[in-house]
Structures are given as structure tokens and as C-alpha cells.
């Protein structure tokens, strides 16, 4: 299939490479030229704009930081819709506000372009090995059309969640749970350290029980090592929590835990940890307690 890919950041690059490995023809664009060059070296065809990507593609994927970036890439000058033919498919795999997904879908309908919102979970490691969890909103028939041939070339699971915006609503729920899990790990293992118990032994003792989780298994070793190279940056999680809070306000959903976590991550951002992995919530507790987990 002739696929286009716009947005070749930490997540987009490995996702695009997995599509190439699956045998697809791939035209790529990113505002950072070195990202495009890296994909070109792997077999991708470089383009100078989203418009050029769309002109060469039957299906275009976007993987961008936030709602304004997606709206500009899709509907802005030189954007995807300028080069799109009626019947083209656009799959936005960015994590954005559900309302923004609905706005993009409307712009696509006006051009005869089919649209799905399909954000992912799993961070850079799962993007690299092609085992992302993909949550999808939009037309169910279209979802079934691209599930095996496209989505499952980048992910281990792809689940239909409902109409347009449902994929991103699901991702917002995911981001609440991930943030709460990381904060709970940071709090619990700081307690263990302060009480004189080896946090690594606590991890071994509890990870197979009810408290165990994928989040703990992925993030606790980083806390123990004091190594926070980003798989998913604090600043990106702040962006997601901002979308959570906005959506909660729009829908009347109470979000007291999310509000607290936002303040904790804002402290990390203000103290130079915004580009660290979100497991660096351990540093927030280290500041409060005077004792690091690692």
C-alpha cells in the first residue's frame, strides 16, 4: 500500500520503520530534516510538505505532539488536505483532545477524505518493537479495513472504541491511569527506602501480586537506577493531562487525582525535568523526602 507518514519524532520514526519492514511504500515528512533523512536511509521517500505526502499516498498517518500541530498539518497551508484525493484515508495517531479529532474529521469530510483517530500507548520501546496498544475512533467499517494491513503492523492490539474522538477519549483515560500508577510507585518505594527496606526487594516481593502492573515493571527499574532517559517525556504527559482536564471540564467529569498529578508534573517541568521520562516523578518525591529511591 502507498502510505504517507507525517511526524517522525520519538514515536513516529519507529512506527514508520515498522510500516517499511512490512513491505509498504512510504512517503514521509517532518519539519526536522534529519528525521526525514533517517527514514529515507531506511527506504522511505522524502517529501517537502504534508501536501506532497498526500499526493503520493492512498493512506496518510499523522503522529504529532498536540491538537494545534495536527490541525495545522492537516488543514493548514501546504497541509495534507491540499494534496488529498477523495477517498484517501487519514489516520491521526497523535494523542490530542477528542474535540480536536472531531474538528479534523469535519475538515476531512468536506474534502471527501476518510478519517480515524487512533492514538497509541506503550512509549518508545513498544513503538520500536511494534507492540503498541492502539485505540481507535471513527467508522467501524473503515477500522476493519485498515486494522490488519496497517495498524497491526505497528501495534500488538488495535481496539475499536466508538465514534470519532473515542480513540482519544480512551487515550486520556489511559494517561490518567499511567500517571497515577507512576506516582503510586514513586510514593510507595520512597516509603520503603525511608523505612530502611531495600526498594529492589520490595519490587521483587510485590510485582507478582495485585499491586503488580505493566507500569511498575517498566518504570520502577528506571527509578531504582536513577536513570530517566525519555521513553515518554514529562512535558508530553503534561500535554495529555491538560487535555484530560479540558475534557473533564467540558463533560462535567471530576478529576481530583489528575489535577494533583498535573501540579506534580508541573513541578518537574519547572525544575528542569520536563524532557525526562515521566518515571522521574520519583524526583518529586526525592525533593519532598530528601531521599532518592535508587
pTM here is: 0.92
| SS3 (DSSP) at 208 | coil
Is 171 designated active site? yes
Q: Give the pLDDT of residue 123.
A: 87
Which residue in 111, 153, 171, 233 is the catalytic one? Answer: 171
Q: Which residues of the chain have pLDDT under 50?
A: none
Spatial separation of the C-alpha atoms in residues 283 and 199, rounded to whole Å: 15
CA angle 112, 73, 89 (to 5 degrees): 35
pLDDT of amino acid 231: 85
- Beta-bridge mates of residue 45: 27
Q: Work out whether the CA dihedral 124, 129, 134, 139 comes out positive or negative.
A: positive
C-alpha atoms less than 13 angstroms from C-alpha of 290 in its C-beta half-sphere: 1
- pLDDT of res. 169: 98
Torsion angle, CA of 137/20/11/163, rounded to 10 degrees?
Answer: 0
pLDDT at 238: 97
pLDDT at 170: 98
Burial class of 48 by CB neighbour count within 10 A (0 to 12, 13 to 18, 19+): exposed
Q: Which domains does the chain have, with CATH numbers?
A: 2-163 (3.40.50.720), 169-289 (1.10.1040.10)
Helices (H), 42-97: 50-55, 67-75, 80-83
Cβ partners under 8 Å of residue 123, min gap 6: 11, 218, 231, 232
Q: Are 35 and 65 in contact (CB under 8 A)?
A: no
pLDDT, tens digit, 9 for 90 and up, residues 170-214: 999 999 999 999 999 999 999 999 999 999 999 999 999 999 999
**Nearest Cα residue to 273 out of 170, 181, 182, 171:** 182
Nearest to 115, CA basis, from 86, 82, 95, 76: 86
d(CA 186, CA 281): 6
Predicted pLDDT of residue 7: 98
Amino acid at each position: 500500500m502507498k502510505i504517507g507518514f507525517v511526524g517522525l519524532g520519538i514515536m513516529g520514526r519507529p512506527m514508520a520503520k515498522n510500516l517499511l519492514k512490512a513491505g509498504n511504500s512510504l512517503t514521509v515528512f517532518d519539519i526536522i530534516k534529519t528525521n526525514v533523512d533517517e527514514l529515507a536511509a531506511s527506504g522511505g521517500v522524502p517529501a517537502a510538505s504534508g501536501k506532497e505526502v498526500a499526493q503520493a499516498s492512498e493512506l496518510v498517518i499523522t503522529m504529532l505532539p498536540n491538537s494545534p500541530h495536527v490541525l495545522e498539518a492537516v488543514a493548514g497551508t501546504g497541509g495534507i488536505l491540499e494534496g488529498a484525493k477523495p477517498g484517501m484515508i487519514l489516520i491521526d495517531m497523535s494523542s490530542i483532545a477528542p474535540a480536536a479529532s472531531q474538528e479534523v474529521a469535519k475538515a476531512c469530510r468536506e474534502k471527501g477524505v476518510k478519517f480515524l483517530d487512533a492514538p497509541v500507548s506503550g512509549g518508545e520501546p513498544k513503538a520500536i518493537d511494534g507492540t503498541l496498544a492502539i485505540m481507535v475512533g471513527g467508522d467501524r467499517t473503515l477500522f476493519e479495513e485498515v486494522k490488519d494491513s496497517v495498524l497491526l503492523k505497528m501495534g500488538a492490539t488495535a481496539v475499536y472504541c466508538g465514534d470519532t474522538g473515542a480513540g482519544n477519549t480512551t487515550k486520556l483515560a489511559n494517561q490518567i491511569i499511567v500517571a497515577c500508577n507512576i506516582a503510586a510507585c514513586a510514593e510507595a518505594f520512597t516509603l520503603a527506602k525511608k523505612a530502611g527496606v531495600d526498594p529492589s526487594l520490595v519490587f521483587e516481593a510485590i510485582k507478582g501480586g495485585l499491586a503488580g502492573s505493566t507500569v511498575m515493571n517498566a518504570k520502577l527499574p528506571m527509578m531504582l537506577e536513577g536513570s530517566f532517559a525519555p521513553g515518554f517525556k514529562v512535558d508530553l504527559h503534561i500535554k495529555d493531562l491538560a487535555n484530560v482536564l479540558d475534557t473533564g471540564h467540558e463533560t462535567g467529569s471530576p478529576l481530583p487525582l489528575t489535577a494533583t498529578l498535573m501540579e506534580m508534573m508541573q513541578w518537574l517541568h519547572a525544575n528542569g525535568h520536563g524532557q525526562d521520562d515521566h518515571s522521574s516523578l520519583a524526583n518529586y518525591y526525592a525533593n519532598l523526602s530528601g531521599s532518592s529511591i535508587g
